[in-house]
Chains A and B, each alone.
Chain A
């Protein structure tokens, strides 16, 4: 699964640490999600989407092998 968190973050001009603080997770978690090393829970995915004011599927998209 790929995601566009880095792009959304760039649009809002916020750092991983800022985003982590707002969402209530560690900076490593945001980093791991961005690098596709960790698939977030549904709750976290919705929190991220709400923060960026977009739909969850606009941020997270399935790849062919998923």
Chain B
């Protein structure tokens, strides 16, 4: 019973945590918080919390042993990797051009990639859940 309940609890807690922390990060970004270069650590806290919650969600799914789920997970990680390369490259090029996009700066990093991986994976599973 615990084997079934634990992954599900992990996933639920993780998803709630990541949604709330991500919302908080974006609210702060759009309010132009920390534009004067101070108090940026406040932004850092939910961002790191978000990262921890992503690990919760991913580790919950890792506990499920199923060949199709493993395939979906791998595909989601591959897509996340491509997205990561695109974001990092855009960020690098824009930086070279002397442009500083605040949003892109926030997206640059492993957290956003992890979010994409988890959401795309969950979406694929949900799609299969509702078809019978």
Contact = CB atoms under 8 A, between A and B. Distances in A.
A29 B69 contact: yes
A16 B130 CA distance: 12
A35 interface: yes
A38 B71 CA distance: 9
B131 A41 contact: no
B35 interface: no
Q: What interface size band does chain A fall in? A: 10 to 19
Contacts of A4: none
Interface stretch (B9-17, B47-55, B60-68, B112-120): B60-68
A26 B68 CA distance: 8
Nearest to A44: B67
Nearest to A43: B67
Interface in A6-55: 16, 25-29, 31-33, 35, 37-38, 40-41, 44
Contacts of B69: 26, 28-29
Contact of A26 (B66, B131, B132): B66
Contact of A31 (B64, B66, B71, B128): B128
B125 interface: yes
A28 B132 contact: no
B68 A35 contact: no
**Of B69, B128, B129, most A-chain CB atoms within 10 Å:** B128
A36 to B, nearest CB: 12
Interface string B67-87: 111010000000000000000
Interface of B: 64, 66-69, 71, 125, 128-129, 131-132
Closest 5 CB pairs of A and B: A28-B128, A29-B68, A26-B66, A38-B68, A31-B128
5 contacts: A28-B129, A31-B128, A31-B132, A32-B68, A38-B71
